[in-house]
Amino acid sequence: MFLAIKNQCDTLSKQFGLIPEERKMQLQIIANYIRSKKEENRTVNLVFICTHNSRRSIFGQIWAAVAARFYGVSLVKTFSGGTMETAFHPNAIQALRSVGFEITTEMVNSNPHYSVSFSENHSLECFSKVFDAPNNPSNNFAAILTCSHAEENCPFISGADLRIGLTYDDPKDFDGTALQNQKYVERSNQIALESLYLFYKISN
């Protein structure tokens, strides 16, 4: 794992006390799901879903993969999707680069594909897509809804073993303001913190 990202994980893993108890209860439900899959020696598929699949859901996909690696939890695959296809937002990309991710463009179009690396040997292909796109699992997965709009408008997700709301405030609200970069990093860090807590619970 790249040193800057490992250092970020080390720092955040000492801050689990900042997570509200209500959030910890939601995270425990996901932890129980992951544990049950691992007890059956089955791959754990986590799909993070938000309306545009451009910010929070991709943060979730990336940080869950990092947290699983940080705590040595194997057989975990992470994905993201939306209720519509847009594009991985440049502000979210910048927030991830600022904490040490290496991000390169793999395909250039209106919805670019990116390779997001967190170690020399671990990377994710990230781009916006609908949650039931062919790139995502069609069954045997947990659907984790990261925005209230998606949670309200996706009451049923076909093929999901678990559907749970784990919503976050949208950093988009600060686009074009003096707080833009700060708020994107804050949201990335919040999702990182909760992802680390989740996999800490699995590893202990």
State the pLDDT at residue 148. Answer: 79
Percent of the chain with pLDDT over 70: 97
Tens digit of each residue's pLDDT (9 = 90 or more) over 8-40: 999 999 999 999 999 999 999 999 999 999 999
160-188 burial code (b ≥16 CB/10 A, e <16): bebbebbbbebbbebeeeeebeebbbebb
Domain range enclosing 121: 3-13+20-203
Alpha-carbon torsion (17, 58, 89, 115), positive or negative: positive
State the pLDDT at residue 43. Answer: 96
State the pLDDT at residue 155. Answer: 63
* Total structural domains within the chain: 1
Tens digit of each residue's pLDDT (9 = 90 or more) over 159-186: 999 999 999 999 999 999 999 999 999 9
CATH at residue 124: 3.40.50.2300
CA angle 90, 192, 173 (to 5 degrees): 45
